[in-house]
Amino acid sequence: MMDAANKPGVPTLFEWAGGTKVFENLFDKFYDKVLADDLLEPVFKHMSPQHRLHVAHFVAEVLGGPKTYSEQEGSHFIMISKHLQKYLTEAHRKRWIELLLQTADEYALPDDPEFRSAFMAYLEWGTRIAVINSKTNEVTEPTDVPMPEWGWGVVGGPYIP
């Protein structure tokens, strides 16, 4: 059975969202909100100047974009390592998603149900993994653990009226 990702003419989530600049701008504006947030600011106040860009490139790659993160900036193993001993809570996770979705709305990321469903599914999965990894002091994955790949899932591609 052919899934949406293999259908001719169906864009990746990355393509449908608008490409690299969209993700770079989205995460730049998002992290402005994070640093102004009472709950999240203490967690992120010491992030490197490159953090915003690395996260943008990581998410873009996961959603079908270029391998900028894995070929130039890090790996999935390194991303997992960044979360060790951060002791993230469910409140942190929910607020992070809330602010990112708020920024996605303000920045006019596609709002069709298929895109938002897939985007939200990845955010749910990724943030739950981050919380789990934040409560340990070692990565249990191999150093060459592959980058996640997230697609349209079962919905069949973007909604086009």
pLDDT digits (tens, 9 = 90+) for 73-120: 676 656 666 655 677 799 999 999 999 999 999 988 999 999 999 999
% of the chain with per-residue pLDDT over 90: 53
Q: Tell me how far apart the alpha carbons of residues 62 and 86 are, in angstroms, rounded to a whole number.
A: 23
pLDDT of residue 142: 60
Which pLDDT tens digit goes with each residue over 45-74? 998 889 999 999 999 999 999 999 788 767
* CB-based burial, 50-68: b 16+ in 10 Å, e otherwise: eebbbbbbbbbbbbbbeeb
pLDDT of residue 39: 97
Reply yes or no on whether the pLDDT at 159 is more than 80: no
Reply yes or no on whether the pLDDT at 147 is more than 70: yes
pLDDT of residue 85: 62
Q: Are 13 and 65 in contact (CB under 8 A)?
A: no
> pTM to 2 decimals?
0.84
Reply yes or no on whether the pLDDT at 35 is more than 50: yes
pLDDT of residue 84: 56
Q: Confidence band (pLDDT; 50, 70, 90) for 3?
A: very low
